[in-house]
Amino acid sequence: MKKNIILYKTIPVDQFERLQQHFNVTAFDNITPENADTFRQALAGADGIIGASYPITANDLTLAPNLKAASTISVGIDQFDIDAMNARKIALMHTPNVLTETTADTIFTLVLCSARRIIEMAEMVKNGQWTKSIGESDYGSNVNGKTIGILGMGRIGYAVAKRAHAGFGMSVLYYNNHQHLDAENLLNARRCDLDTLLAESDFVCVVLPLLPSTEKLIGKNELAKMKSSAFLINGSRGKIIDETALIDALENQVIRGAGLDVFEVEPLPADSKLLKLPNVVALPHIGSATHETRYAMVKCAVDNLIAALNGDLSQNCVNPEVIK
């Protein structure tokens, strides 16, 4: 007999058909206020769930007595109440490998666009304001040969470090719970404490998961420790940075600029002060948003759910130690 699953994200047809081959599928395009109650009612008979961009709370889990596995179409797992899942011995699967290089590309794009004022200069040309050779007021900053500080030397952090070292001759500092020998031996990276990284880096790149220990890790005090010529780059989770403190730092030239793909509230409200600052590059959370990568993420998540509901947690399981 087929197990019952809930799909709560639109996915490519071929991957939807794969799910149908293995399971009885109840599908939602996305969870909205209009269909949230229907979704919660469907949880009563679900053995598995798969989707993204919707918080699965402890209360939701109480409505799903048969739930054995959840598969998120993302590497981040902050949308799930991990403690509640562990208590229920529900496997949580994610997609940690397939988006590494694409997300690193996006983060380094933010480095380049922020330093060279690419968006600002492109808009000047499009608006017909390029009427003479640019002067000093329009100059950007070099990237080549500068120092990049990476908060979080995981897969994506290491991919960013490779680009910085090999492509732009940058010195690499990193702040991480654990030593990364490949980064040190192959990229001449130096592990240091947070204060040292902030003080010495020309570009501070946040590539950390959102955890209680990382929420608002970068606030007023941390921004004040950065160089006034430095740029803050965030390609992980918006809540790691105190957005109010960042706006204040940008308005008062405490730092030179910021490149942001993520925000405390998403989508970013149209009245956000960040959108009024010329020294901010703001993207709509496009870290992994290419056709190839998003398809690979869906396929990986489908593979994960099929494997998990067949008892195989050998790949991409966040909490295998609690499933006994």
pLDDT digits (tens, 9 = 90+) for 75-134: 999 999 999 999 999 999 999 999 999 999 999 999 999 999 999 999 999 999 999 999
- Tell the CATH topology of 3-98+292-322: Rossmann fold (3.40.50)
Give catalytic status of residue 266 as yes or no.
yes
Annotated catalytic residue, options 222, 237, 256, 264:
237
Annotated catalytic residue, options 17, 123, 251, 266:
266
* pLDDT one-digit tens code per residue, 224-243: 999 999 999 999 999 999 99
Please give the Cα distance from 184 to 196 (Å, whole number): 17
Please give the Cα distance from 279 to 147 (Å, whole number): 20
Q: CB under 8 Å to 267, separation ≥6 — which residues?
A: 284
In degrees rounded to 5, what are phi and psi of residue 86?
-65, -40
Exposed/middle/buried for 297, CB within 10 Å: 0-12, 13-18, 19+?
buried
- Residue 322 pLDDT grade (very low, low, confident, very high; cuts 50, 70, 90): confident
* pLDDT one-digit tens code per residue, 180-200: 999 999 999 999 999 999 999
Q: Considering the chain, what is the average pLDDT of its residues?
A: 96
Query: What value does the mean pLDDT take over residues 2-21?
Result: 97
Can you say whether the dihedral through the CA atoms of 118, 238, 231, 146 is positive or negative?
Answer: negative
Give catalytic status of residue 94 as yes or no.
no
What is the distance in angstroms between the CA of the first residue and the CA of the last residue of the chain?
A: 23
Annotated catalytic residue, options 18, 94, 165, 285:
285
Give catalytic status of residue 190 as yes or no.
no
Residues forming CATH 3.40.50.720 domain(s) in the chain = 3-98+292-322, 100-282
- pTM of the entire structure? 0.92
User: What pLDDT shows up at residue 323?
Assistant: 74
% of the chain exceeding 90 in pLDDT? 98
Please give the Cα distance from 280 to 257 (Å, whole number): 6
Reply yes or no on whether the pLDDT at 324 is more than 90: no
CA 72, 16, 71: angle at the middle one, nearest 5? 15
- The side-by-side arrangement of strands in the sheet containing 23-27 is 23-27, 3-8, 48-51, 69-72, 91-93
- Tell the CATH topology of 100-282: Rossmann fold (3.40.50)
